[in-house]
Amino acid sequence: MAASTSSLTFQPVLERIAEEIERTPGRGLAADYIPALAARDPRSFGMAVAELDGTVYGVGEWREPFSTQSITKVFTLALDLAREGDALWEHVGREPSGNPFNSLVQLEYEHGIPRNPFINAGALVVTDRLHTRTGDAAGELLSLLRAESGNAGLDFDHDVAASETAHGDRNAALAHLMASYGNIGNPVPVLLDDYFRQCSVMASCADLALATVFLARHGLRADGSRLLSRSQAKQINAIMLTCGTYDAAGDFAYRVGLPGKSGVGGGIIAVVPGRCTLCVWSPGLDERGNSVAGVAALDRFTTLTGVSVF
């Protein structure tokens, strides 16, 4: 039976989950197309929970920085949505893709309008639009993460960015295809530089759990100022639930029952609106690019605590 969070603090829950994960065989494989990711031990594990007041609980390697990768798509989406509002949705959809995160096929069928902001094509559009408004989308992202996490030392990993650039032909193809439909406003090389730097940010579970709390606070930042309206925060949480874990979002919603966003660095963030946020990291991935231990840990968290959006 699930325990009430009023009678069960998060720390014992996290410790129990870590013990269970440690005994779990078959933890997947680290992403192999970026050397810095391939070098990570797939059995590494960290998990953190941040409450609305900034209190953080953690277990395992929860202070260990890792490559955030696609998790940053949530934050660039928030930054751009805050600036241009609903006009964004004329350029990117809000529907699950059902295809791999770097698919070109669907994009051509739909005339250069990506299905959602969390597949690569959609994230490229959001980054492009944020760059138009700020002149440095990756820099704006880094400033937001530093401010919300309270960690001024967060930074890009230039080796990871360079490696992604060297293996970035598919993303370049996506950007050029969308540019041919008039859905990219900046020169493609400029956009790709911004995008690869964005994905290379190094942060820990503690950093990312704290940085995500504005989505649990219905759009309010750590300093009390408003980044998003309540409606916009709800929109991002909804898209995370339906699109945040590549083409496994349905299974993630079924197992975990929380808005979440994963990255091929092995991290996953999740949001309990009005209550807390979570970040879990373990580099071993399944065939869809999601952390095997991360999904299992979030599944156990919602089961043990009874916390869910359903």
Q: What is the value of pTM for the model shown?
A: 0.94
Query: Which residues sit opposite 201 in a β-bridge?
Result: 156
How high is the pLDDT of residue 229? 98
Strands 260-262 and 201-203 turn out to be unpaired
pLDDT at 127 over 90: yes
Which among 243, 237, 245, 244 has a CA at the least distance from the CA of 308?
237
Q: Is-contact 10 62, C-beta < 8 A?
A: no
Angle at 95 between CA 89 and CA 100, to 5 degrees: 115
| CA 80 to chain CA centroid, nearest Å | 15
pLDDT band, residue 105 (cuts 50/70/90):
confident
For the cut 90, the answer to whether the pLDDT of residue 34 exceeds it is no
Per-residue pLDDT tens digits for 264-291 = 999 999 999 999 999 999 999 999 899 9
Cβ(48)–Cβ(209) under 8 Å? Answer: yes
Would the pLDDT of 101 be above 70? no
pLDDT confidence tier of residue 3, bands split at 50, 70 and 90: very low
For residue 261, the surrounding DSSP H or E stretch is strand 260-262
- With vertex at residue 248, the alpha carbon angle to CA 18 and CA 81, rounded to the nearest 5 degrees, is 95
Lowest mean pLDDT among 31-45, 113-127, 281-295: 31-45
Range in 14-18, 54-58, 163-167 with the lowest mean pLDDT:
163-167
Residue labelled with tokens 């005339």: 111
Q: On the CB side of 150, how many CA atoms lie within 13 Å of its CA?
A: 11
Tens of pLDDT, residues 192-227? 999 999 999 999 999 999 999 999 999 999 999 999
- Give the DSSP letter string of 49-69: EEETTS-EEEEESTT--EE-G
Residues in the chain: 310
The rounded percent of the chain whose pLDDT value lies above 70 is: 96
Tens digit of pLDDT for each residue in 136-191?
A: 999 999 999 999 999 999 999 999 999 999 989 999 999 999 999 999 999 999 99
Amino acid letter, residue 23: R
Radius of gyration for the alpha carbons in the chain, expressed in angstroms and rounded: 18
Rounded CA-CA distance 122/117 in Å is 4
Structure tokens at 86: 């609903």
Question: Is residue 8 predicted with pLDDT exceeding 80?
Answer: no
Residue 99, pLDDT > 60, answer: yes
Q: CB of 294 within 8 A of CB of 282?
A: yes
